[in-house]
Structure 1
Amino acid sequence: MTTRLFVAIELPEDIQDELAAQGAGVPGARWLDEDQLHLTLRFIGEVDGVKYRDVVAMLGRLRFPPFDLSLFGAGYFPPRGPTRSLWIGVERSEELERLHRAIDTGLTRLGLPPDRKRYVPHVTVARCDGTSAGQVGKYVMARALYRSRRFEVNAVHLFSSRLNPKGSVYELEESFDLAAGV
């Protein structure tokens, strides 16, 4: 049996509430429940039980000083063709980039394939199906200057993802304190 995994940063509740309150007015968009909102650091994919334990051990060894982040702006994927998701961006952060690289390197050393896509830190807020380009443009423009309060990142979380007809459902598997021993 395999489990579909990803590593993420959980958002503070007040920021989840703030993002959930913005979720309306775009026909064809399915807004994620606020408890499903997160900042993905690295999608892992399907792993078996042995590899799962290896991933948990690697994440448990990560040591990283706490740092602050702020969400900023909005966008959509993919950049060409029909929109599949709407997202809120993240203010540029060297610490976040280093954390992403450390996780990617650790997973690659475990024999998992490296992340081939350029890392674009974001929080997916909606999945789209048949959403007009005009509606997507209005949403993105209305949030172009959106900025959340700054929040501290001191942990990463391992989530499992189950696919169902209504979309993915995420479940917290493990949490890792980055600052332990720093």
Structure 2
Amino acid sequence: MRLFVALSLPADLRDRLCGLSSGLPGARWVDPANLHLTLRFIGEVDGHAADDVDAALSGIQGPRFTLALRGVGQFGDDRKPRSLWVGVEANGALERLQAKIETALQRAGLEPEKRKFKPHVTLARFKSSPGTRLQAYLVQHALFRAEPFEVRDFTLYSSYLAHEGAIYSAEAVYPLA
């Protein structure tokens, strides 16, 4: 089972992000139903480890908070971009939640995440470089800002890689107080 922990996005926000999903050749746009903010990628685990992950995440407590998406960017360089994303306004509550998740998963036996947490919502992945159109896109959408939304819970997802792309299933939802 391939797992990750993420925040689901409200339907109206996913619809708004779909408005950003065009105009770049070579981009594989994320299906609107799959738009999310990853808190921790876990990867392949067996059934026992998945149960341990669920138990660890079930013990996390934290307050609800509001979150706003802002700006766009890319991972990779201009010659070989890997993905296009929407950023997240600085948010201490989000950072604390992500740190609690990381700590709980390490206590459950997972290796520490090596990458620094950079909250974002992936809009597209690139098969090939869109060339100068990417920089024009980034400039055009640099001031993007979505209305804040309330984060009431976080979700453990499983991911199945199919020929047409990833299929995500919510395995468990963990409420915040």
The structure 1 residue matched to 2:144, chosen from 143, 146, 149, is 146
Shift of 1:165: 3.1
SS in 2 for 1:99: helix
CA shift in 2, pair 1:55/1:81, >3 Å: farther
Shift of 1:111: 1.0
The structure 2 residue matched to 1:34, chosen from 32, 35, 52, is 32
Report the TM-score, using the length of structure 2 for normalisation: 0.95
Corresponding position of 1:96 = 94
Shift of 1:66: 0.5
Pairwise CA RMSD: 1.2
Off by >4 Å, runs of 4+ in structure 1: none
In structure 1, the gaps of 5 or more residues are none
In structure 2, the gaps of 5 or more residues are none
Shift of 1:81: 4.9
CA contact under 8 A between 1:26 and 1:131: conserved in structure 2?
no
Q: Please say which of residues 81-90 and 35-44 is displaced more in the overlay.
A: 81-90
Shift of 1:108: 0.6
SS in 2 for 1:56: helix
- The answer to whether 1:160 aligns with 2:166 is no
Instruction: Provide the rounded CA distance (Å) in 2 between the counterparts of 1:90 and 1:79.
Output: 20
The structure 2 residue matched to 1:108, chosen from 81, 101, 106, is 106
Instruction: Provide the rounded CA distance (Å) in 2 between the counterparts of 1:124 and 1:8.
Output: 12
Instruction: Provide the rounded CA distance (Å) in 2 between the counterparts of 1:166 and 1:135.
Output: 25
CA contact under 8 A between 1:73 and 1:145: conserved in structure 2?
yes
CA shift in 2, pair 1:109/1:146, >3 Å: same
Deviations 1:106-135 (A, max 9, x none): 101111011110111000011111122312
- The answer to whether 1:19 aligns with 2:20 is no
Shift of 1:167: 2.9
